[in-house]
Amino acid sequence: MRRLGVVAGQSFDVDALDARTRDAIEAGAVSAKARMERMAAMHPVVDGWSQPTFTMGVYGTDYWRRAIIAKIGLGANLFEGAIYPVLFHDAAGNVPAGEVDYGLHFDAGARPPVDAFWSVTMYDDDGFTVPNDLDRYALGDRDPLVYYADGSLDLYLQHTVPGDARRANWLPAPNGPLGVTMRLYDPRPEVLDGTWTPPPLTVP
C-alpha cells in the first residue's frame, strides 16, 4: 500500500501515480465490487428472505466479509445480538413493488422468536424511508398491533390504505421497488440455527 502512496496520516494523491498504476487501481476496485456483490448473495434465500447468521460482527482475517458488512451495514451487531433478514422477492418470485398489496402472515406460534423485540422496516429502491401520512416506517411487537383471536398476525405492506380495521397493522409502501428488512434483537436459538425463518410476502 505504501508503494501506491497510501500512508497512515497522509493524504492520498492519485495524480502522483502513473497512468498504468491508476488504471490498475480502477480495475481492482471494479473487480472487488463484483466479488463483494457475489459474496453478499451467498446466503441462502428462504421464502424470499436472506437471513445471514454467521460471522456477523466478528471477522478475524476475513477482510472480504468485513468489507461487505461495512458496505451494507457499517457497525453491525454480533449475530447473537441481532439478525437482519432482508427480503429479495415475494412468494411468486417477483421483486416487491409498492403498487402491489401485500400481506405478511405470522401464525400464532411462528411470530419472530426473540427475547428483546422485532420489527419490519420499509424502504424505497435507494434504501431510504419515504414520508407518508402516518409517519410510520416500521412495525413491530412494540406497536399496538391487532392480533387475531388465535394469536396469529397479519401485517399489510401496500401503498393504499387497507381499510380502517387494518390500519394499525399497515406499513405504508412507496411506489416503485421496495426494500424490506426485518430486525430481530436478542434472537433465540431457532433463529440462529435457521430453524425459524420469516414467512413469505404474499398477495392476500
Q: Provide the whole-model pTM.
A: 0.77
CA 62, CA 80: separation in Å to the nearest integer? 19
CA 55, CA 50: separation in Å to the nearest integer? 15
Tell me yes or no: is domain 45-202 CATH 2.60.120.600.
yes
Cell numbers describing residue 190: 431457532
**Could you write out the DSSP letters of every residue in 73-118?**
HTTPPPTTTEE--EE---TTSPPPBTTS-EEEEE-TT-S--BSS-E
Helix (H, G, I), strand (E, B) or coil at 41: coil
Cell numbers describing residue 73: 451495514
Q: What is the pLDDT, as a whole number, of residue 142?
A: 96
Q: What is the pLDDT, as a whole number, of residue 55?
A: 64
Residues 84-111 as b or e (16 or more Cβ within 10 Å = b): bbbbbebeeeeebbbebebbbebeeeeb
Q: Where are the domains of the chain?
A: 2-40, 45-202
Q: What is the pLDDT, as a whole number, of residue 42?
A: 62
Q: What is the pLDDT, as a whole number, of residue 80?
A: 83
Q: What is the pLDDT, as a whole number, of residue 54?
A: 63
A 10 A CB-CB count for 8 gives: 6
Cell numbers describing residue 31: 473487480
Q: Are 27 and 20 in contact (CB under 8 A)?
A: no
Q: What is the pLDDT, as a whole number, of residue 63?
A: 85
H-only helix segments in 8-167: 19-40, 63-73
Cell numbers describing residue 106: 405470522
Walking along the chain (204 residues) 10 residues at a time, the average pLDDT comes out as 90 92 93 84 82 73 82 74 92 95 96 97 91 95 97 96 96 94 95 93 92
Q: What is the pLDDT, as a whole number, of residue 201?
A: 98
**Helix axes of 19-40 and 63-73: crossing angle, nearest 10 degrees:** 80
Helix (H, G, I), strand (E, B) or coil at 19: helix
